[in-house]
Amino acid sequence: MPVAAVQALQPLTVLVAAPGVSGFIATAEARMQGRRGPRVLQPYYDLAKLFRKESLAPVGASAVFLAAPVLAMVCYLTVPLLIPVLTSYGLPLGYMGDILGGGIILSLASFAVAVGAAETGSPYAQLGSSRSKTFAAITEPVMLFVVFAVALVTGTDLPYAMAATVRSGADQILRPSHLLAAAALFLVILYETGRIPVEAHRSTNEFGMIEEARSFEYSGPYFALLTWGSAMKQLILYTILINVFLAPWGLSSTRDASDVVLAVVLLVAKALVIGLVVAVIDNSFAKLRLFKITEFVAAAFLLAVLAVFTLYLGGG
């Protein structure tokens, strides 16, 4: 395969597979609760229905309201170009930015959606926007410490180099500092994907709405872009966890079409395993009060700090 085709296949894989991973998690959670639940492919049907509906904008909303979902989708399509989604070797665009750059792009997408929600004047949308930015100020330092800890171990913050270090031997994963950093990242992923501690996924309870509140006033194709982008963000975070931190195996080392297709299958399979773990956690813990979220994120921050101290004390 041409290298350009492999490069384009990375964001395309995330784009196509993300709704299916979300559908699998929703189905798994329903079965754990004794319900039949939606079909695994239900998110695809929902997106197709939304793209056929009419889009409405609140009175007084500026062009920022309509531009936010498009900008967020562009950000979510950019990040897979920077991280090892399918290949173990760096693609031409893979060195445009490090893992911090990918984090900044994800933050830009979240900021755009928050600004678009604030434009509506809706109390619920503004509530979700305010909450998301307040808690982002807590979670972003955790991500910085996670990257800092792993960069100290690997000597670089380039995702492909990090994955190569982990792939060099199983003992790299078992380093105490690496395990602590991976655990901190996993806690952040649980929060960022709306699974725990306060927000039920797809929840419409105003006492805990964060992610869903921001898209409260959107409809039609713009709401479809936000929904699709949320699923893509989830799969991107899963990909960083499994292909950079925990299990960077099964990636294609050549441009052979069969190897690339196998890498796509293995990526989806690993993402479904992570999704199943998340579904078990989501069904095993009661939701916490909103103000308890600071304690949850503080635990992730403590793990990240311990990863750095452990590294300096000989555990890395």
pLDDT of residue 13: 94
Q: Which long-range contacts (CB under 8 A, 24 or more apart) does 132-140 make?
A: 132/210, 132/211, 132/214, 135/191, 135/210, 135/293, 135/297, 136/107, 136/110, 138/293, 138/294, 138/297, 138/298, 138/301, 139/188, 139/191, 139/192, 139/297, 139/300, 140/103, 140/107
What is the rounded distance in angstroms from the CA atom of residue 311 to the CA atom of residue 131?
34
Pull the structure tokens for residue 223: 């709401």
pLDDT string in tens for the chain (316-residue length): 788 888 899 999 999 999 999 999 989 988 888 888 888 899 999 999 999 988 887 777 778 888 889 999 999 999 998 888 888 887 887 777 777 777 788 888 888 888 888 777 777 777 777 777 777 777 777 777 777 777 776 677 778 877 787 777 767 777 787 788 888 888 888 877 877 655 555 554 544 566 676 777 788 899 899 899 989 999 999 998 898 888 888 888 888 888 899 999 999 999 999 999 988 888 887 766 767 777 888 888 888 888 878 877 765 4
Exposure pattern of 6-30 as b/e (b: 16+ CB <10 Å)? Answer: bbebbbbbbbebbbbbbbbbbbbbe
Q: Where are the beta strands (DSSP E) in the chain?
A: none
Contact, 165 vs 256, CB < 8 A?
no
What is the rounded distance in angstroms from the CA atom of residue 13 to the CA atom of residue 131?
31
If one counts the domains in the chain, the total is 1
Q: Which domain holds residue 214?
A: 3-315
Per-residue model confidence as pLDDT tens digits over 21-58: 999 998 998 888 888 888 889 999 999 999 998 888 77
Pull the structure tokens for residue 190: 């649980």
**Tokens 């899963």, residue?**
238
Q: Is 42 exposed, middle or buried (0-12, 13-18, 19+ CB in 10 A)?
A: middle
Residue 87 three-state SS = strand
* Cα 246–Cα 197–Cα 289 angle in degrees, nearest 5: 160
CB atoms within 10 A of CB 62: 10
- The DSSP code for 252 is B
Cα torsion for 67, 71, 73, 78, to the nearest 10°?
A: 160
Read off the amino acid at residue 189.
I
**Tokens 């792009």, residue?**
105
What is the rounded distance in angstroms from the CA atom of residue 133 to the CA atom of residue 72?
15
In this prediction the pTM is 0.87
pLDDT of residue 71: 93
- Cα–chain center distance at 60: 32
pLDDT of residue 208: 52
Q: DSSP string of 125-180?
A: HHHHHHHHHHHHHHHHHHHHHHHHHHHHHHS---HHHHHHHHHT-HHHHT-HHHHH
